[in-house]
Amino acid sequence: MQGALAMTYLWLKAGHIIFVIFWMAGLFMLPRYFIYHQESDVGSPEDAKWIDRERKLLKIILNPSIIVVWVLGILLATTQHLWAEPWLHAKLFLVLLLSGYHGWMAGYAKKLARGERPLRDKQLRLLNEVPGIVAALIVVLVIVRPI
């Protein structure tokens, strides 16, 4: 019985890490898409291609990945009885921030699709750094467990 539980944990952990990688890849790609998209003229064929690319990235990679990451993360925390751990609370806070960032980007894609260009390229380039910084902090919390 103990061996089956250990194997389940390892499969949950592997799946969680795999889908975190997918999610992070999408979080890195979408702001870069936005930068290129904003260079196209509103209503042009190139604009339509960027709208389609962004929609597909959200629908095929980002949205399914965030769901799987959350489900497997909750299962991992539950099976390992980690809910009282301070490092997990900090990690969850950062994952909530990343989830909010994901939602903000989905909203920004809709604005671009409507022809709105509220941010400058430089602002988007700075926002593109958010997932990398947050991911680094999460990795430190999970591996080092400083708190």
Which residues are documented as binding site for heme? 16, 91
Q: How far apart are CA 14 and CA 123, in angstroms?
A: 35
> Which residues carry a binding-site annotation?
16, 91
